[in-house]
Structure 1
């Protein structure tokens, strides 16, 4: 870790670090990544530095300062597609370019023990973005449904895939109405788990089929959910003590927009909003797939939850989504009102349990752990129903 900390010092971005035990073992990864940068037309804009210490051999790649200042001033990656004229919908290579440029700009180090792990990390992010673009669901925090031909449910095991059902196909049929012709009920948090799980399974089919087989057996036995899902499959970068810049996002990031209004945050499902960053300045909207959020529209939506909160006949707090939509549309017609809302919402969030001056922007993001044979960080729990975390 000493080399990572050393590279992270100062104002320059650490970016991507490749690591091996010796300089000779590092050489193939260095050669392959340089070839990747050349193929994507990025090699002329990247700085590389080598270093050997007691932890092994390292090579650091980061965007050169001039390109960083021009392409993403103040770490604002939301305009990369426009600046670089990328078509991430029509050209998968452009999506890879956007991901790689954002990684090279990173204010925290992304460390990979091989070129293969870096390739897998980029590919998983592409999988997340492409699957998230196809995902459309029905929002429901109290009920859940899955295609009955693929899934079984029990309180002890959660939703498990039935014998003979392949995990990838089951996840696609559940989240992608173009395949199932139906919207299934989800909370936003569980929806992000399914998209991440699909992206991981698709990558394992290419790079680690043995782990994919274990993942299939796991979901035939019991589901991994909530906090355990995060611990097994994801790592967090950025923190409350070292927050990420408020406009720094990498396509494929999972992130949380916090509802900074205490009263409306007491409504179940409105504590905040879990989304993926799709790139090109857009964030997922699983409930209206054809209307992804920008940073502005997401902030304005969360702001107006407070103005649509009421008590129903049973005295329970609720949020009227129709009122939210009407208030958002009205605000977006008034640039001065939008500027005022963004002035409060684009602040970093307060700590948990605190509702004071913070906005909706989280200090961290989440990404998938290493996946390749020999370097994978995925440790699946015992495939036993004991201790299962049932949920929707």
Structure 2
């Protein structure tokens, strides 16, 4: 299996294979799929050899680049009418356009993995649209029909319950009839896993069974979750453009203020990009974030830290909202805050410099039986 990092600098979408004839076949199949979606004019394609591998590459045409200069995918909504209520086909188009515009390539070991990745991203974006939770650090809750509380920390899947349904019930009030308590990091993990689980039901049910067994014992969280299910693309040397996101990506907005990171849950903000310039608002699905609103929120955390009578630090979120509204209504303050916060974030554990914008993006790993790189 190849290392996707070796193709990152190519940009766009790369399907990697071992023969020229297979690369040509892949390129033809991609072209037909694009024609069926009526998007062929927005995409160019090439076939090239890289060491002992062949790459069928699809990338933004001049026409698509005109619609989103500097790979600013927010502009796709205006050019093509994308929204957070778009149909499945429109969401597929936005995903492909966003990937094609990327200077950091997405690479796949087969055309089947490419199409599976599109479906996973679509699943994540669709369930994110329906997600609404209440913020909790130490009082998390889950639907008792599908989850059992562990003696230490967290919740495990009740054996025999389908993981996909359990995640949906925990995330979506329209499925369960109520909202549940989450911290944003674990909520983002549930969203990514929900998109994967839905795809695995048909693409790789044996792997899904393995994941469900693990989730009924001790679910993976934090770094172990990332290592098992996600890959990170981009780097400080080769970052993603500040306004480039693909629906279904997990994104980190860093809090650059050291003092306010002492409040549990406010080290930064984990979100999922839903498309059309909008990030999931885990706490209010009717008010998704755009990137500017998220920058204002993270910026004002530094001004709203309080200490309870018990000596515990907490965030006054009502005050955060009030200060956000005041800053956004003041042109001078708005310019100053965005100038600071729209910078790339500083390295881990470095504070007092940089903004909140991440250099990398996290996406789901490959899922097909012959090529999956998910490891439990």
Q: Which TM-score band applies after superposition, normalised by the shorter structure?
A: over 0.9
Q: Quote the Cα distance in structure 1 between the aligned partners of 2:327 and 2:152.
A: 46
TM-score (norm 2): 0.95
What are the residue-to-residue correspondences of 1:161-172 with 2, within 5 Å? 161-172=157-168
Residue in structure 2 matching 1:331, options 315, 321, 327 = 327
Partner of 1:124: 120
Partner of 2:80: 84
C-alpha offsets along residues 311-364 of structure 1, whole Å, 9 cap, x if unaligned? 222333221001011111222222332122101110111112212330111111
What are the residue-to-residue correspondences of 1:1-392 with 2, within 5 Å? 5=6, 8=9, 14-68=11-65, 70-87=66-83, 89-155=85-151, 158-380=154-376
1:271 Cα deviation from its structure 2 partner: 0.8
1:120 Cα deviation from its structure 2 partner: 0.7
Q: Quote the Cα distance in structure 2 between the aligned partners of 1:4 and 1:33.
A: 22
Q: Quote the Cα distance in structure 1 between the aligned partners of 2:230 and 2:103.
A: 19
Q: Quote the Cα distance in structure 2 between the aligned partners of 1:293 and 1:6.
A: 32
TM-score (norm 1): 0.91
- How many residues align structurally? 375
1:64 Cα deviation from its structure 2 partner: 1.9
Q: Is the 8 A contact 2:204 2:367 kept in 1?
A: yes
Q: Quote the Cα distance in structure 1 between the aligned partners of 2:349 and 2:7.
A: 34
Query: RMSD between aligned alpha carbons?
Result: 1.9
Task: Indicate how the Cα distance of structure 1 residues 53 and 361 shifts in structure 2: closer, same or farther if over 3 A, else same.
Answer: closer
Task: Indicate how the Cα distance of structure 1 residues 56 and 241 shifts in structure 2: closer, same or farther if over 3 A, else same.
Answer: closer
Q: Is the 8 A contact 2:41 2:63 kept in 1?
A: no
1:153 Cα deviation from its structure 2 partner: 2.2
